[in-house]
């Protein structure tokens, strides 16, 4: 089954699914960029690892299920006669993948491509870790592409007043503080995004909508999504109507 939506599929950011979507996007973007920049440049998949204590919001594969007992933030009344089952916050090792476009001969990083995770968009060590890296990039000559396809959470700071649910930032090191923000709604297709390299080099482009649609089909995400579930955060009334109408027009196949 193909992606039933002409743009971002709002069901893909479910906590149980986004980890897979994120990893497939990273690989697919790397595959789309590599033949356009080789042999002068190469694209590498890198990892950022940190330890985070869960705050009750479950994110990613390792966080999908919690066995029995009370929620992590629940307050229990302890009795002297019989203990009850509770859970304590546990530190978890978090791995976030991102892309680096490097000069083949020197290995110098020319562009960093980030696809934001839920932990980057809520307060805590995940956001702090990413913001520290983001600031270092913005203070350097390294280009940055920041892809935010998550409706929930706090967007990364950009000096523009835009309420669009999805955002992509293209920041060229040689043009800062000027940058190119792409903001789009649920009903709009994902944009085709340029990948900045060294100044003067032709910029390859990535059709993010084609990339998203391809991984949706190849991964058979339709088999993992319950299209009857309520979306969080909730959509507006107009958006809800649009989603239902769009799904009703989509042929159901297996």
Pairing of the two strands 41-53 and 109-115: unpaired
pLDDT at 66: 32
| Angle formed by the axes of helices 208-219 and 18-37, nearest 10° | 130
Q: Residue 228 in contact with residue 14, Cβ under 8 Å?
A: no
Q: What is the pTM of this model?
A: 0.84
Full DSSP string of 173-205: GGGTT--EEEEE-TTSPPPEEE---STTSPPPE
Residue 69 phi, psi (nearest 5)? 75, -170
Q: What angle do CA 112, 156, 134 make, to 5 degrees?
A: 35
Task: Give the per-residue pLDDT at 70.
Answer: 43
The winner for highest mean pLDDT among 68-77, 83-92, 227-236 is 227-236
* pLDDT interval class at 253 (50, 70, 90): low
Extended strands (E) in the chain: 41-53, 91-103, 109-115, 143-148, 166-171, 180-184, 192-194, 205-207
Of 49-63, 74-88, 123-137, 171-185, the poorest mean pLDDT is in 49-63
Please, which pLDDT band fits residue 117 given cuts at 50, 70 and 90?
very high
The alpha carbon of 74 is separated from its chain's Cα centroid by a whole number of angstroms, namely 29
């Amino acid at each position: 089954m193909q992606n039933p939506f002409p743009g971002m599929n709002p069901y893909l950011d479910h906590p149980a699914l986004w980890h897979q979507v994120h990893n497939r996007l990273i690989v697919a973007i790397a595959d789309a960029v590599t033949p356009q920049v080789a042999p002068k440049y190469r694209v590498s998949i890198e990892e950022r690892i940190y330890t985070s204590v869960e705050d009750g919001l479950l994110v990613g594969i390792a966080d999908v299920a919690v066995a029995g007992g009370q929620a992590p933030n629940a307050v229990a009344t302890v009795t002297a006669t019989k203990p009850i089952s509770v859970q304590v916050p546990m530190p978890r090792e978090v791995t976030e993948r991102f892309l680096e476009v490097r000069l083949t001969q020197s290995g110098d990083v020319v562009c960093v491509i980030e696809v934001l995770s839920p932990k980057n968009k809520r307060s805590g060590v995940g956001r702090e870790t990413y913001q520290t890296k983001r600031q270092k990039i913005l203070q350097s000559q390294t280009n940055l592409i920041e892809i935010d396809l998550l409706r929930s959470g706090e967007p990364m700071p950009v000096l523009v007043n835009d309420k669009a649910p999805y955002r992509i930032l293209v920041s060229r090191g040689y043009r800062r503080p000027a940058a190119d923000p792409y903001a789009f709604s649920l009903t709009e297709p994902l944009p085709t995004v340029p990948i900045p390299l060294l100044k003067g080099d032709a910029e390859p482009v990535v059709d993010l909508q084609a990339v998203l649609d391809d991984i949706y089909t190849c991964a058979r995400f339709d088999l993992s999504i319950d299209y009857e579930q309520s979306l969080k955060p909730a959509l507006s009334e107009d958006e809800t109507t649009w989603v239902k109408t769009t799904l009703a027009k989509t042929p159901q196949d297996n």
